Structure 1
Amino acid sequence: MVAITEFQKIGIGLTGFGLFFLLFGVLLYFDSVLLAFGNILFLTGLIFIIGFQRTAQFFFQRYKFRGSFFFLGGVALVLFRWPVIGMLVESYGFVLLFRSFLPMALGFVLSVVNIPHLNAASHT
């Protein structure tokens, strides 16, 4: 089992709160303050989990430049109180950054979710 440091535990909490504030900000019709706070908490939590240097290496790889540009540009737009456009730009950048990871994550989620009626219907 992998040991989790105290900084990583704090990072998981910050990332969780960041995702909560992002979701809550979207549910409250793109409240710019909640979205900005969620973005800051999410990025801070990511830095606490994997470290500052590895976070910078992830975002500033040559082949991920376009995704990083859109993601961080969307965060900046949200911080400058353009929440709807900022979240659209940020979402596009997120997809570009994690497009190689998304099929694996989707496969994992679908393998974990065991819905009996859907499984039985697919075998018939």
Structure 2
Amino acid sequence: MSEFEANVTAFMLVKTTPEWLRLTVEERVAAFENEVVPVIKSKARGVRSRFFDTEFYSARATDVWMWEARDHESYQLVVEALRETPFWDKYFEVVELLVGVENGYARNYGTRAPTSISA
């Protein structure tokens, strides 16, 4: 997929299920590649994702899946696609969805976005 400006970012907090954990690493990779990815690709365009392991620091969510989408409709299509796969409620419990617009405040008021980056 070509690069694009993400107008919507969603943090999907999930927790692995015992069914997922019973699978070997190879079975997990195959399940994801064969049962989840094709459905997402067939239904959603203008999205990209990143995965973060959090089980080392949180008992509530074992992973965070960050979705970036061109628009709200693209993000909604991803969620609808995921609900049609074993990802949703079979392999993972969706704990919480946090959806936002990066620097929305600055965009709305035409001001510079504050930053805490230091050298």
Q: Same fold (TM over 0.5)?
A: no
The structure whose Rg is larger is: 1
Higher relative contact order (CA 8 A, sep 6+): 2
**Greater fraction of residues in strand:** 2
TM-score by length of 2: 0.31
